[in-house]
Structure 1
């Protein structure tokens, strides 16, 4: 059992996974919520629809690939997936400041980055959840999940604010470069995890059969079905708000400056 003082964070491997998760969560909030929409709205003069499309492409992989990735991750070792997706986001996010510094940044570049980074995010999130039982005992899972969900809450609160401060002092390119480094740091922490994770047992069934069983289990349980519906509706309206919020604030700021100018 985990010791009371410090709990699971006293376990080296869980602490490394927890640290990697913090970095990845904050990085996702920085790039998708602020650091990518802002240059699109300001530097590229993107319309509301074009900025909204960035948000759509970032979340689309979760809708399209979530079930398939979940079934696939049950069959493979998760730690290599976590490291690979972090490194993939290093390259993708890092390409934005490189293009910006060369004066070659376009909306299509941003669209490609957010879509592919979203795919990496799906694999990371699913593999991350699947990996936790390899590091902690069954009785410790509630504590482990609570600590990891706390990371998500901290990232949701601190990520956008941190992005604003970083952009103010380093500019868009500097903020995205720092964000890319956060994913690299996450991958380095994951490489230090020593607990082996064996691939899941292969049942011999096709992935689509396992996906169908998962859907049946979700829809057949009243509590899980209601929770899923609640999360879907909440996520939909949050996405709508976040998609237009940046453009609204940019336009209001510009309007305020024009009214204040002598």
Structure 2
């Protein structure tokens, strides 16, 4: 975490997400206004925030391994006493925390657009849901980083995981509005539970199901972390055995 903070101070490229988030907030505000819903937390805050959070988490997971390889530090990362999973998770947590600021920024933009502070019906549930979503996102980024350890096609993977997850995770529209045949797939995407609990907390509806959503965030986040740790251990063992760390 200290390493990532030092890197972010000197090369704050991840702060660029704070430049694009207000544009997304305005877009979703316009959609809500055109649909007659006015400006609300669900449209103007949750969607732009989750888009920014998912993008920056994926980007750092991919860039971390790629940059370490390009600058000749991947061997040092693998040989370090601390496990690579712990290093990657700590660095992703820092970036995810920066990405969480997009929610504050979206709320400010939406409040200015509405001419009043937008209320959040269940602020405690909202903060708890946001915290667990960030942790699950960091764990998922660790899992994704295992693919970058053995592959150089970063942008293909990033593109493949961006827009489908926006749909399946209920970021753009609630999952209950998706086709019936697609809804079972959304139950495997942690963002579906994160977006649901944040919408419930914003409107004050569905507090009972909010507990289930929080539990599923913990379960899916822990599962992603476990699978990522196992895969990373096996991949690194194979690279060491073949002597192909630099050529992976």
- TM-score tier by shorter-chain length is 0.3 to 0.5
Select the structure with the greater relative contact order (CA < 8 A; seq sep ≥ 6): 1
Calculate the TM-score normalised by the size of structure 1: 0.32
Larger helix share, 1 or 2 = 1
